[in-house]
Amino acid sequence: MTLFHFLNCALLTFGPHAVYYTATPLSEYDTIGTCVKAAIVYLGTALVKLICLATFLEVSDSDSFNPYQELLKALIGFIDVAGLYFALTQLTHRNISQNHKFQAVGLGWAFADSVLHRLVPLWVGARGLEFTWEYIFQGIEANADLVLNLSLAAIGSLMWLRRNKPKTLIPIIYACAGILATMPSITSYLRRALGWQPPKLVAFELSSSLVMAIISWQLFSACHRPV
Amino acid sequence: MIIHYQCFQFDSRSWFGRKTSSLFSGRLARICRGGGGMVMSLTTYSILVLVLVLAVCVELGDAATAVDAYRLIQYDLDGAPYGSRLAALNHFAGVAPFASGVDLSRTAVILPLRDLNFTLLHEFITGKQQLGGLLFLLPRDTDSARKDTGPIRTILSKLEHLLIHANLPYPVYFAHEDDKINEVLPDVQRGDGTGQPASATTGGLELMTHSFKLVVSTSEPKKLSSPTITNIQGWLPGLKGDGTSQLPTIAVVASYDTFGAAPELSVGSDSNGSGVVVLLEIARLFSRLYSNPNTRGRYNLLFGLTSGGPYNYDGTMKWLRNFDQRIRESIEFAICLNSVGSWDNELWLHVSKPPENVYIRQVYESLADVAKELDVTIGLKHKKINISNSRVAWEHEQFSRVRVTALTLSELSVAPELLHNTGGLSDSRDSVDDTTIQKSIKLVAESLGIGYAVSLKPPISSGSTVSDREKILRKIVALDQNGSDEGHDFHVLPLTCLCFSSPRTARADPSISGFDSGIFFSITYRLASSLLPYVLLRKLLLEERHIYGYQGRNVQIFADNSSLALNPFYVKSWLDLLSQTPRVAPFLSKNDAIVSALKKELADHTDEVNVYHETIDGMFTFYDSTRSTLSIYQVTSVGFDFVMLAIIGLYLIVLFTVLVIATRGFDELLLMIRRPPTRKSKAA
DSSP string across B85-132:
----EEEEEEES---TT---TTEEEEEESTT--HHHHHHHHHTT---S
Q: How sure is the predictor about A161, in pLDDT bands with cuts at 50, 70 and 90? A: confident
pLDDT in tens, B270-317: 988 999 999 999 999 989 888 888 888 888 899 999 998 899 999 999
- DSSP assignment string, B525-594: HHS---PPPHHHHHHHHHHHHHHTT--S----SS-TTSTT---HHHHHHHHHHHHTS--BGGGS-TT-HH
Closest listed residue to residue A150, CA positions, set A207, A100, A106, A97 = A106
CA proximity to B289, closest of B562, B555, B564, B491: B564
Residue type for position B32: C
pLDDT at B209: 61
Q: Looking at the predicted structure, is the pLDDT value of residue B137 above 60? A: yes
How far off is chain A from B666, nearest CA to CA, in Å?
12
In this prediction, residues B31-35 reach a mean pLDDT of 50
- Between B483 and B537, the more confident residue is B537
Q: Do A23 and B213 touch (CB under 8 A)?
A: no
- B439 or B529, which is more confident: B439
Assess whether pLDDT exceeds 90 at residue B186: no
Q: Answer yes or no: do B648 and A4 touch at CB < 8 A.
A: no
Residue B504 has pLDDT above 90, yes or no: no
Give CA–CA dist A146/A213, Å, rounded: 10
For residue A197, the distance in angstroms to the closest alpha carbon of chain B comes to: 19
Question: What local confidence, expressed as pLDDT, does residue B677 receive?
Answer: 57
How confident is residue B104, by pLDDT bands cut at 50, 70 and 90?
confident
pLDDT at B482: 30
**Which of residues B254 and B465 earns the better pLDDT score?**
B254
| Confidence at residue B601, expressed as pLDDT on a 0 to 100 scale | 93
Closest CA to B335 of B378, B395, B387: B395
Q: How would residue B252 be classed by pLDDT, with cut points 50, 70 and 90?
A: very high
pLDDT in tens, A171-182: 888 888 888 888
Pairing of the two strands B406-410 and B346-351:
antiparallel
pLDDT of residue B425: 86
Over range A176-202, report the average pLDDT. Answer: 83
**Widest distance between CA atoms in chain A:** 59
Averaged over B448-459, what is the pLDDT?
Answer: 69
Find which of B184, B212, B641, B647 to mutate to test the A interface (most A CBs within 10 Å of its CB): B641
What is the rounded distance in angstroms from the CA atom of residue B597 to the CA atom of residue A222? 87
Q: Which of B62, B649, B660 sits opposite A128 (nearest CB)?
A: B62
Residue B343: which residues within 8 A CB-CB, separation 6 or more?
B411, B436, B440
Do B302 and B233 contact (CB within 8 A), yes or no? Answer: yes
- For residues A91 and A37, the answer to whether their CB atoms sit within 8 Å is yes
**What percent of chain B is modeled with pLDDT above 90?**
23
Q: What is the pTM of this model?
A: 0.73
**Beta-carbon neighbour count of residue B384 at 10 Å?**
11
**What integer pLDDT is reported at residue A13 of this predicted model?**
92
pLDDT, position B599: 94
Distance between CA atoms of residues B454 and B156, nearest Å: 47
- Indicate the SS3 state at residue A192: helix
Residue among B56, B63, B664 minimizing CB distance to A130: B63
Option in B16, B55, B645 nearest A8 (CB)? B645
Residue B53 Ramachandran class (φ > 0 left, ψ -120 to 50 alpha, else beta): alpha
Whether residue B484 is predicted with pLDDT greater than 50 in this model: the reply is no
Cα dihedral sign, B371-B375-B380-B381? negative
Give the residue from chain B lying closest to A11, CA to CA: B648
Please report the pLDDT score of residue A166 as a whole number: 74
**What share of residues in chain B are helix, strand, coil (percent, to 5)?**
45, 20, 40
Element (H, E) at B622: strand B620-622
Alpha-carbon dihedral sign for residues B324, B329, B335, B339: positive
Looking at residue B340, what DSSP letter applies? -
Question: What is the arithmetic mean of pLDDT over B600-611?
Answer: 92
Average pLDDT on B238-261 reads 85
- CB contact (8 A) between residue A4 and residue B634: no
Find, among B361, B366, B364, B329, the residue nearest to B249 by Cα.
Answer: B329
A120 to chain B, any CB pair closer than 8 A? The answer is no
pLDDT over 60 (residue B204): no
Which contiguous run of DSSP H or E holds residue B213? Answer: strand B211-216
Judge whether residue B19 has pLDDT over 50: no
- Adjacency order of strands within the sheet including B80-84: B167-168, B80-84, B74-77, B620-622
